[in-house]
């Protein structure tokens, strides 16, 4: 009899707690998916496709929000500064997390290792290094050697930060 009463008491406690637990489910409102690049680029297209699928899975709207500028730093920083409730997420290329922080740390107001939590890899985009056909080097190693011997002669373009001339001589 004691065990039956104990089981009934536990069951009634669990039934009483369940509504409170279900009311706290995530997500229960729209999620902003920040895209730190311009509308129409490859990252934007991927993010919008992912937002549609996430919305279906999570059963809440996932709203793509473009915040381009400063090599993806502006949009990334907006996520860092957003309320830490899981309703603002970021889909960004590595430029905002790695290149900017390494090449121009004075212009990046966040520490990606401390201020952001990775959820997963969403896409892989190959990075290709190309040179003019008449360049004095034909491999990455040769380019590095050339740059070391010829400061300021190698210029690099990236999706990420602008590298100041004083830094461009160092590969």
pLDDT digits (tens, 9 = 90+) for 19-30: 555 556 999 999
Chain-centroid distance of CA 86 in Å reads: 14
- Under 8 Å between Cβ of 110 and 90: no
Residues 75 and 54 in one domain: yes
Q: Which domain holds residue 99?
A: 31-115
Q: What is the pLDDT of residues 49-82, one digit of tens each?
A: 999 999 999 999 999 999 998 888 999 999 999 9
**Is residue 49 in some structural domain?**
yes
**Is residue 1 in some structural domain?**
no
Number of structural domains (the chain) is: 2
**Is residue 64 in some structural domain?**
yes
Residues 92 and 133 in one domain: no
**Is residue 12 in some structural domain?**
no
Residues 100 and 165 in one domain: no
**Is residue 35 in some structural domain?**
yes
In whole angstroms, give the CA distance from residue 156 to residue 79: 28
Residues 44 and 80 in one domain: yes
Residues 135 and 100 in one domain: no
In whole angstroms, give the CA distance from residue 112 to residue 115: 5
pTM greater than the 0.85 cutoff: no
Q: Is the pLDDT of residue 48 over 60?
A: yes
């Amino acid at each position: 009899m004691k065990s039956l009463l104990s089981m009934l008491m536990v069951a009634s406690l669990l039934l009483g707690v369940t509504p409170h637990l279900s009311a706290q489910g995530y997500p229960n409102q729209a999620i902003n998916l920040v895209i730190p690049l311009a509308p129409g680029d490859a990252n934007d297209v991927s993010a919008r496709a992912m937002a549609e699928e996430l919305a279906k899975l999570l059963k809440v709207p996932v709203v793509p929000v473009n915040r381009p500028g400063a090599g993806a730093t502006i949009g990334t920083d907006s996520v860092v500064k957003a309320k830490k409730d899981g309703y603002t997420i970021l889909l960004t290329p590595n430029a905002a997390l790695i290149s900017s922080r390494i090449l121009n740390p004075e212009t990046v107001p966040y520490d990606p290792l401390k201020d952001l939590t990775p959820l997963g890899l969403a896409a892989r985009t190959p990075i290709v290094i190309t040179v003019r056909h008449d360049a004095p080097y034909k491999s990455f190693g040769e380019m590095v050697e050339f740059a070391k011997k010829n400061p300021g002669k190698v210029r690099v373009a990236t999706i990420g930060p602008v590298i100041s001339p004083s830094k461009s001589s160092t590969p």
